[in-house]
A and B are shown apart, each in its own frame.
Chain A
Amino acid sequence: MSTDTRISDQADKGLAKGQVGAFGLLVIGISTIAPAYTLTAALGPTAAEVGTHLPAIFLAGFVPMLLVALGYRELNNRMPDAGTTFTWATRAFGPWVGWMGGWGLIAATVIVLSNLAAVATDFFYIMLGQIFSSDALAGLKDDLWVNIPTTLAFLALAVWISYRGVQTTMVVQYVLVAFQVIVLVWFAIAGFVHLHQGTAFDPTPPVWEWFNPLGVGDVSTFTAGVSLSIFIFWGWDVTLTMNEETKDPARTPGRGSTLTVFVIIALYMLVALSVIAFAGVGTSGLGLGNPENQESIFAVLATPVMGPFAILMSIAILTSSASSLQSTMVGPARTLLSMGFFKALPAAFGRIHPRFKSPTVATFVSGVAAGAFYVVTRLLSENALWDTVTALGMMVCFYYGITALACVWWFRLEFFRSVRAVILQFLFPLIGGITLLVMFVKTALDSLNPDYGSGSNVGGVGMVFILGMAIIVIGLLLMGYQALRRPGFFRGETLPRDR
């Protein structure tokens, strides 16, 4: 008997099939997006750019995300055995672009890991402060000697959980999501009640103009706002690309992702309107324009808005960022694993644990990179969270853009066969991809200015530019080194171009 016939395998054994309905997808989508976390991280920086036009920008940010995600779905359906930027872009554009696309995804997820851990740390101490009614405890979050070790501890914990292959169960996920949504709605309603009763900090009744994307002002402001708001929808695309896991692959993903979008946009609108209505966009006190408030808006507003119940907000953000931290870890680890497997990185990255069946080296490297990124930005910048969120928006634009164009290029021989294909495989991803890449370049150029974003700078050059460019340049250098050391991948031997 040959060896192969003696191995009995189950096809698709790892994937849970036919389990998730539209409501399940909604839960998955919300937990992936983690709105409590994205809002606290992105509301401030976005409001700093666009002021009261927050709702308009949030809506505008969804458009490129939608266009790209539809392209994602096409690629996912056609190349079911592999589905991420690295493999897709390599198959479409060849090894060099594919390598950088993978690098962009890794960089973006590593940045978000460091940001998630940092937000978890902040709200961990805020929560302790609320429990023990101690400002000293809450103030620990600003002490670098406490903040950095705690953030690293959160990261280490997430690495450990990911390495052990421990998964969040369905019940836990449902509870976390429900709690998050309830607390956010509570916050929003409380904000409107303050407005109504005249107890708001800076009563600013909502007007329709806030929804007008053309009212934002110049192109730079618009781009900066959209690039930030892409981040708040990041992760929504997974609801669209799930298919075998769903009860009805033909219909559930469409319904589930539409449902998710409506719920998440409604939630964002509600909270954004309430925050502006309560606090206004002034530059003093609780105003959204106050740079002091922009790193983490709920840290400042939860208590004035929710009173003693502000602790619920702390718990919601802590649980949402901590659970997101652990599940996000999977992304860079698997892309690194994939790059190791296809010999685009040293083979060690392709190692899988014999017992836990999880990536080993790749998981640790992701965690260490996130920790290193956090320590560096925290030490270099007073507004580390703000800068990382901006840099993150930039990196998401970069790799989403590449992925969308990979879709266009991969389907170039067949998309004129039907109207549906022209729209979904060509037009949408092309517009989405170009928009995102233009936004990437525009953000990069704008961020050269030391006043960009949080205003942190090194030697007169904007911090966000330095972060973004450092990531790209390090990627290019590593790619060059790999090309010299392991030319096989770059000659297309290990992962050949399709067509």
Chain B
Amino acid sequence: MRYTVGYTADAGGRAALETAVALAQDGEDTPELDLVMVVPQQSPFAASHPGSDPAGYEHILDAQLREWAKDALAMVPESITAHVLIRAAESEAEGILAAAAETGAELIVVAPRTHLLGRSLGSVASALLHSSPVPVLLATRRHGDPDGEHQWAGAARVTAFLGTREGAEAVAATAARLAQRRHVPLRIVSLVSLAEQGSASVHDAGGPGPEDRVALVREVIEDIAGRAALACEVLVLPGQDIDDAIATVPWQRDDLALLGSSRLGGHRLFLGSTAYKVVRSAPVPVVVVPRTVPHASEGGEA
């Protein structure tokens, strides 16, 4: 399997690289990592003042990029084939997507930036989630200690977050394939917000009690799992609101979370509000799957 890693020579880039390495290492096929370093395209209409020296600057930037590239390659174990791609693009996300298309990557790994203000994943991760045609793994720096002692060590279990809306089956199928490939157990989690009528309930809007709603959701999820012939654990977790429900998810250190993008995005990735909250609070890396990955039913779009 081929991975594209959005790499920057800082803590975020290293988190992405380490996560990709951990994930690549325990897969059975021969993994290939492409580390992409994106250089902003110089507009001739911008830096043209005396001393702006575009050629000389590029020379220095090149030397620095090569140094960073060598440091990054040194972090990758021998068993993994790794390359560094240095590409110019209008934006970081654009460069990463172009490189992924160039190499035929099946997964893009980036580290989202966690801001103190606002509900943002940073411009790069957000842009990727809005436009990537392949799954995007968000390597959070939260897992483990900052000094890296409890580094995430690969997916020992796949946890798929499923809603009861259309498209859940595709996410379940992708999760199942991922788990099968690595011979690890699959777990399906569905979050139910009791305060929010109708958000998780598919059937009647007649106002069923909390237990009824959980049972209903469980029925739907088990139905999806059953149709996909998946042997998996199903957890339906109710909470006053989604945040409450997320807080009750039991994690183990080497989980890999997986969720689908929202329907709003059409063929492209887009995070719904629940998915966004999961990404923000999950202590493990999260894969966001676009709704058009292979095996997803094309008819289900529109």
Please list the residues of chain A having a beta carbon within 8 angstroms of any beta carbon in chain B.
3, 6-10, 12-16, 19-20, 24, 27-28, 31-32, 80-85, 87, 105-106, 108-109, 165, 167-170, 173, 234-235, 237-238, 242, 245, 324, 327-328, 330-332, 334-335, 337-338, 341, 350, 352, 354-357
Is the CB–CB distance between B62 and A330 below 8 Å? no
**Lowest 5 CB-CB distances: which A-B pairs, in order?**
A331-B51, A167-B46, A13-B88, A82-B56, A354-B9
Is the CB–CB distance between B50 and A237 below 8 Å? yes
16 of the cross-chain contacts (CB-CB < 8 Å) are: A3-B73, A7-B66, A7-B83, A10-B86, A13-B41, A14-B61, A31-B45, A82-B55, A82-B56, A167-B42, A168-B45, A235-B50, A238-B49, A242-B44, A354-B9, A355-B10
Q: In the complex, A332→B53 CA distance in Å?
A: 10
The interface centre, meaning the residue of B8, B56, B73, B82 with most chain A CB atoms within 10 A of its CB, is B56
The interface centre, meaning the residue of A9, A28, A84, A337 with most chain B CB atoms within 10 A of its CB, is A9
State whether the Cβ of B264 lies closer than 8 Å to any Cβ in chain A.
no
Q: Given B45, B51, B52, B87, which contacts A13 in the complex, CB threshold below 8 Å?
A: B87
CB-CB nearest in chain B for A323: B46
Is the CB–CB distance between B58 and A24 below 8 Å? no
State whether the Cβ of B69 lies closer than 8 Å to any Cβ in chain A.
yes
Q: In the complex, A357→B47 CA distance in Å?
A: 14
Q: Which residues of B contact A14 (CB under 8 A)?
A: 39-42, 54, 57-58, 61, 88
CB-CB nearest in chain B for A332: B51
CB-CB nearest in chain A for B58: A14
Q: Given B47, B53, B56, B70, which contacts A3 in the complex, CB threshold below 8 Å?
A: B70
Q: What distance in Å separates the Cβ of A327 from its nearest Cβ neighbour in chain B?
A: 5
CB-CB nearest in chain A for B113: A355
Q: In the complex, A337→B87 CA distance in Å?
A: 22
Q: In the complex, A234→B63 CA distance in Å?
A: 31
Q: Which residues of B contact A108 (CB under 8 A)?
A: 50
Q: In the complex, A334→B55 CA distance in Å?
A: 11
Is the CB–CB distance between A83 and B44 below 8 Å? no
State whether the Cβ of B59 lies closer than 8 Å to any Cβ in chain A.
yes
Q: In the complex, A341→B61 CA distance in Å?
A: 10
Is the CB–CB distance between B44 and A235 below 8 Å? no
Given known A-B contacts A105-B51, A338-B53, A355-B8, A170 and B43 have beta carbons under 8 A apart: yes
Q: Which residues of B contact A354 (CB under 8 A)?
A: 8-10, 13, 68
Is the CB–CB distance between B13 and A331 below 8 Å? no
Q: Which residues of A contact B10 (CB under 8 A)?
A: 354-355
State whether the Cβ of B240 lies closer than 8 Å to any Cβ in chain A.
no
Question: Which residues in chain B, 92-138, are within 8 Å of chain A measured between CB atoms?
Answer: 92
Q: In the complex, A14→B58 CA distance in Å?
A: 7
Is the CB–CB distance between B87 and A10 below 8 Å? yes
Is the CB–CB distance between A13 and B47 below 8 Å? no
Is the CB–CB distance between A335 and B59 below 8 Å? no
CB-CB nearest in chain A for B74: A3
Is the CB–CB distance between B56 and A6 below 8 Å? no
State whether the Cβ of B24 lies closer than 8 Å to any Cβ in chain A.
no
Is the CB–CB distance between A27 and B56 below 8 Å? no
Is the CB–CB distance between A8 and B55 below 8 Å? no
Is the CB–CB distance between A169 and B45 below 8 Å? yes
Q: Which residues of B contact A238 (CB under 8 A)?
A: 48-50, 52
Q: Given A80, A328, A337, which contacts B60 in the complex, CB threshold below 8 Å?
A: A337
Q: In the complex, A83→B64 CA distance in Å?
A: 18
Is the CB–CB distance between A173 and B45 below 8 Å? yes
Given known A-B contacts A14-B88, A334-B57, A28 and B9 have beta carbons under 8 A apart: no
Is the CB–CB distance between B51 and A15 below 8 Å? no
Is the CB–CB distance between A334 and B50 below 8 Å? no
Given known A-B contacts A109-B51, A168-B45, A12 and B58 have beta carbons under 8 A apart: yes
19 extra A-B contacts, CB within 8 A, seeds A8-B84, A324-B49:
A7-B83, A9-B66, A10-B86, A10-B87, A13-B41, A14-B54, A14-B58, A16-B43, A24-B44, A28-B48, A84-B53, A109-B51, A237-B50, A327-B47, A330-B49, A331-B49, A354-B8, A354-B68, A355-B10
Q: In the complex, A24→B42 CA distance in Å?
A: 15
Given known A-B contacts A3-B70, A354-B13, A28 and B55 have beta carbons under 8 A apart: no
Is the CB–CB distance between B52 and A330 below 8 Å? yes
Q: Which residues of A contact B200 (CB under 8 A)?
A: none
Q: What distance in Å separates the Cβ of B68 from its nearest Cβ neighbour in chain A?
A: 7
Q: Which residues of A contact B52 (CB under 8 A)?
A: 238, 327, 330-331, 334
Is the CB–CB distance between A28 and B44 below 8 Å? yes
Q: In the complex, A352→B63 CA distance in Å?
A: 11
Is the CB–CB distance between B47 and A330 below 8 Å? yes
State whether the Cβ of B289 lies closer than 8 Å to any Cβ in chain A.
no
